[in-house]
Amino acid sequence: MNACRSLLLLLPLSLAGCLGSVDIGGTLSGLPSGASVTLQNNGADNLTLTANGSFLFTDPVGDGESYNVTVLTQPAGATCTVSGGTGTVTEDSSANITSVVVTCTATSSVSGTVLGLAAGLNLTLTTGTADLVVATNGAWAFPGTLASGTAYSVTVKTQPPGQTCNVANGSGTFTTGTATAVAVTCGP
């Protein structure tokens, strides 16, 4: 009796070894330099990407299970879309699914980062023609795209109370396909 019971306990473990799983992934293109995009598979398994190229989610998907890749967090200065991001893993799938395509399109030409901004405060950046209120540390982007060869200049229009923010790389000439990488650093 004990031997039969042991076999019954081992049977589910043996069958689990027969079930397969594959990794889900694909390629990312068009992500602006210095930006990041966060993807999800099936509403979980977050994957933050900081460079164009191939990617794989860390959690595999089992036989008969579906996958659904979506954008959780858009990058500053771009909008990313997913194609080929849904499907079902078939029982005969033995290779990873790498056909998901994430394509980003620039929505801004002038972007950068803010570091050192105290919680609860904000500052206003300006290009002289457009203002942008920034309330958190991290990436930011002015809306709109510039033609290649257009000059830009970013300055602090309004300092946060009790802090001084300085701009590095705040001016230049925009070149299509490159990031402006304006860096704003705040301190006491």
More confident residue, 104 or 93: 104
pTM greater than 0.75 (yes/no): no
The answer on pLDDT for 1 being more than 60 is no
The answer on pLDDT for 4 being more than 60 is no
Distance between CA atoms of residues 35 and 102, nearest Å: 14
The answer on pLDDT for 49 being more than 90 is yes
Distance between CA atoms of residues 117 and 54, nearest Å: 34
Distance between CA atoms of residues 108 and 18, nearest Å: 49
Distance between CA atoms of residues 94 and 151, nearest Å: 52
Residue type for position 164: T
Residue type for position 93: S
- If one counts every other C-beta atom within 10 angstroms of the C-beta of residue 16, the result is 9
pLDDT digits (tens, 9 = 90+) for 144-185: 888 888 999 999 999 999 999 999 999 998 887 666 779 999
- Report residue 142 as tokens: 């002015």
Q: Worst-scoring range by mean pLDDT, 49-53, 79-83, 116-120, 170-174?
A: 170-174
Average pLDDT, the chain: 87
More confident residue, 48 or 149: 48
| Band (139; pLDDT cuts 50, 70, 90) | confident
